Amino acid sequence: MAQKKFNSLEKAVDILDLYDIDRREYSAKEISEKLNIPLSSIYKYLEFLTKRQLLRRKPRTNLYGLGFMIARLGYVMDKDMEILKIARPHLEALCRETGETAFLTMLTGEEALTLDPVEPQRLVKFTIASGRRLPLSTGATSRILLAHKEEAFIEHYLATASFQRLTGKTIVDADALRADLVQIRKQGYALSDSEVDVGARAVSVPLFDQNGRIFAGLSVAGPSERITDQIVEQLIVLLKKRVVIMERELKFALGA
């Protein structure tokens, strides 16, 4: 009985995990097809999730979106996440110093989650939504996280990942990705150009927790024509200086 309840809970979480910034509504049939679960069972899960306000059904369309309980939990998490409190002034400072977009990425499963982007006040800029998720293989802001995970995690990812080509420059080969991860660890930063969004270039550095584990990635991104190789060198220096301060503040905040 306990195992059956656990399996049901796992499937309910799988349903919630479908939602992200790029896809906010699903029909019951779409959920059934994506998770390969019979439609009759999906309706039972949706009924439960809706009753607990984790999802809400929109009467006019019969589509399911995230519910008010998710919003409440998100608010609680936002207030409690020390990294966001610590990072915000540094992201704002980086944005002012560079004139480009600054943001964090954090690991969630086998994806990189974008958090708290700060954009410059200029017409042409790199825009990314908080909550956007990307494969760990794609772009500097994702690979900076993957490169600093344990070797077993990396090898499992390389063996099982379904590489998705987003642009002509996206890495879709396991050997090429492995070599790039080695280079990232060696040089201490990740760099990508038009791998996710054509015409955008990003530089990322790792942020470690008090135990030396990868905690987040700190990134600056902007139009490729502005972020020249010379500018990249300047960004690396600025990012690494910020990370030293942020790691010290994070260590103090967590009581380490």
Residue 217 maps to which CATH number?
3.30.450.40
Average pLDDT score over residue span 106-122: 89
93 and 52 both lie in a single domain: no
Out of 36, 71, 106, a domain closes at 71
Q: How confident is the model at residue 210 (pLDDT cuts 50, 70, 90)?
A: confident
Q: How confident is the model at residue 154 (pLDDT cuts 50, 70, 90)?
A: very high
Largest CA distance in the chain: 62
141 and 247 both lie in a single domain: yes
Residue 1 lies in a domain: no
Owning domain of residue 62: 12-71
Q: Measuring CA to CA, which residue among 214, 98, 99, 96 is closest to residue 149?
A: 214
Mean pLDDT score of the chain: 89
85 and 210 both lie in a single domain: yes
The predicted pLDDT at position 204 comes to 97
The predicted pLDDT at position 8 comes to 78
Q: Measuring CA to CA, which residue among 19, 16, 74, 3 is closest to residue 48?
A: 16
With 80 as the cut, is the pLDDT of residue 234 above it? yes
| C-alpha pair distances (Å), 177 with each of 24, 138, 142 | 31, 9, 12
The predicted pLDDT at position 81 comes to 66
pLDDT tens by residue, 45-58: 999 999 888 999 98
Do residues 205 and 239 touch, judged by C-beta distance below 8 A? Answer: yes
Token pair 């979106």 in the structure block, residue: 65
141 and 210 both lie in a single domain: yes
133-135, strands of its sheet edge to edge:
133-135, 111-118, 101-108, 214-223, 200-208, 190-193
pLDDT tens by residue, 11-39: 888 999 898 877 889 999 999 999 999 99
Average pLDDT score over residue span 157-170: 89
Q: Which residue has the higher pLDDT, 138 or 69?
A: 138
The predicted pLDDT at position 254 comes to 60
User: What tokens appear for 167 in the block?
Assistant: 């642009």
85 and 59 both lie in a single domain: no
Out of 20, 44, 71, a domain closes at 71
Q: What is the pTM of this model?
A: 0.72
Residue 3 lies in a domain: no
With 60 as the cut, is the pLDDT of residue 256 above it? no
With 60 as the cut, is the pLDDT of residue 79 above it? no
Count of domains forming the chain = 2
User: Among 163-177, 202-216, 240-254, where is mean pLDDT lowest?
Assistant: 240-254
